[in-house]
Amino acid sequence: VGIGLVSKEIDKRTLYSLLPKPITRVQFLLGKYCGLCLTVLVNVLVMTAGLYFLLFLMSEPFEPALLKAIFLIYVKLMVLVGVALLFSTFTSSTLAGVFAGFVYVVGYFSSDLKNFDSVVETGALPQITKVLYYLLPNFKNFDIKAPIVAGDIVPMTQIVWATAYGLLYVSLL
């Protein structure tokens, strides 16, 4: 949905009837972003309710630690919505989807990008991967599912730092 959010407005020319109104382009984009984030939030809440309902049916105890992982999944989705909206503003829906998918996949391998210079020592590739490491979001910061499921305690400071990282990244986008 986020991929075609702005480009479909341009293609259908509905954007031209909105821009003369007393709203700025920034307000238009923030409205689109916030609306899509609210839609994603509703989806995440419904899936969370479904998860806890299934756990109840399986006679599993209520595990509030899962809410930490679900919250960080939502923050990660907020970043991904921002990336999709960014690409949607200046490319077609297809390219925006490809680019957003690229950012999502590379975001999970960003620690490998940081250490790529230890594997390849020649050429410009180590410098390019270092730039990509600092430009692209590190989605592993939001991934605490494995420790939660294993029963490990995830400190609240980790949740706060991951949330701050996500919100900073979204504000930069």
Distance (Å, whole) CA 127 – CA 164: 27
Dihedral sign for Cα 85, 91, 93, 95, please.
Answer: negative
For the whole model, what pTM was predicted?
A: 0.85
**Chain centroid to CA 22: how far?**
30
Q: What is the DSSP string of 147-159?
A: HHHHTPPPPHHHH
Q: What is the pLDDT along the chain (173 residues), one digit of tens a residue?
A: 667 666 676 677 776 776 777 888 788 889 889 999 999 999 999 999 999 999 999 988 888 889 999 999 999 999 999 998 888 888 877 888 888 889 888 888 877 777 776 676 677 777 787 788 888 888 888 988 888 888 888 899 999 999 999 999 999 98
Dihedral sign for Cα 108, 114, 120, 126, please.
Answer: positive
Burial status of residue 139 (CB atoms within 10 A of its CB: 0-12, 13-18, 19 or more): buried
